[in-house]
Amino acid sequence: MTIGLIKERVPGETRVALVPAHVPELVKRGARVVVESGAGVEAGYPDGEYAEKGAEVLPEREAVLRATDLLLAVRSGAAAGDAAAADLNALPEEASVVAMLDPWQEHEAFQVIVRRRQRAFALELLPRITRAQSMDVLSSQANLAGYRAVLLAATELPRMFPMLMTAAGTIVPARVLVVGVGVAGLQAIATARRLGAVVSAYDIRPAVKEQVESLGARFVEMELETGDAETGGGYAREMNEEFYRKQRELMREVVAEQDVVITTAAIPGKKAPVLVTEDMVRGMAPGSVIVDLAAERGGNCELTRVDEIVFVPATRGSDAFDADTVGSVKVVGPSNIVAGLAYHASQLFSKNMVTFLATILQDGSLTVDREDEIIAATMVMEEGGAPDGERASLLGVPHTGNAQTGNTGDE
């Protein structure tokens, strides 16, 4: 089997799906690895390192695609936007692709996969079970996103994070609120604490209180009926609008006390809930910063714009600040924030990838066990359609009826 690796085409995507250090693991499994020249350069992995580890570096993208039986990518399907369809059309019929696919919406790329009877595995759908932890790309990348978000906030904030005692006086530490205590949120808490900030955190899942406090942060409790706030997969469940309305009312006072708010709340496949309103932003102190990690999914802040910094006049105090002044509240909406840490983000993604491939690659051949919980959850396309009926309806493709009972990743 030939495994192909291509350079990501999505603007700003600097990661690569396989790093040179992991090539020998695939070669030992009997695979031939071909790499598009320049695939890893932006992440800090030159062509020569791939060649040294046993991969064949080809100068043309089309040559790699034509030779590939199993394509590895960070983004394909809907996650790669307009770039995906052409690549999938260039792949041989009945080839396979493993990548993040954003498999919750109709997209031209999925029609190509159906027409060419290709097989597609969506890494976002890995079930949150013990055996799959070492394959979990969402967790490995979210970990880096939480770290990076704090550094971004510290850069934009016109204050220091730590307390500092000097002959000129004492500087009080910054106050940081982390909203959403998943993997990204926990890393944001830990990083902000290491920088010396006073950290609080909020999540609709009361069960995370112990984790927050173990990192030295204060857990913000609100009098809300959370009910079953957590899915079987360990994600926060989407709540109704009345719940979010009450939550926003209670959060207004908490947000007003903060110098920095980092929001991480996301529901897989859904629009991010709006947790921070314009009124809350305007009530913050001049110069405060909001970093919205859910920007790509619509944002947790009402004012977020993807890949922009929005300056919001602060009404707190005797005078309102103009939108263009330093004193305004900054709302930062980064997309793909981990691309700024491409070297290590790729390293972690690649390790997740080769661990996943161990479940489907045996003696140089693709072996798909549909009874395997991991395969049942991640294989969204094969034989001209989707094995899962609900997924087929979401993507607008035929239902093949081959699905096994298991976690599809939506729970």
* Residues labelled catalytic: 128, 133, 136, 139, 235
Ramachandran quadrant class, 326 (left: phi over 0; alpha: psi -120 to 50; beta: rest) = alpha
Contact present, 395 and 384 (Cβ < 8 Å) = no
What is the separation, in whole angstroms, between the first and last Cα of the chain? 34
The three-class DSSP label of residue 69 is coil
Handedness of CA 46, 49, 51, 56 (dihedral sign): negative
What span, in angstroms and rounded, lies between the C-alpha atoms of 64 and 250?
55
Other beta carbons less than 10 A from residue 318's beta carbon: 4
- Give which of 74, 90, 84, 88 is closest to 122, Cα–Cα: 74
- State the Cα–Cα distance between residues 103 and 121, nearest whole angstrom: 10
Enumerate the β-bridge partners of residue 276.
Answer: 301
Encoding tokens for residue 238?
A: 């989407």
Local structure of 385: helix, strand or coil: strand
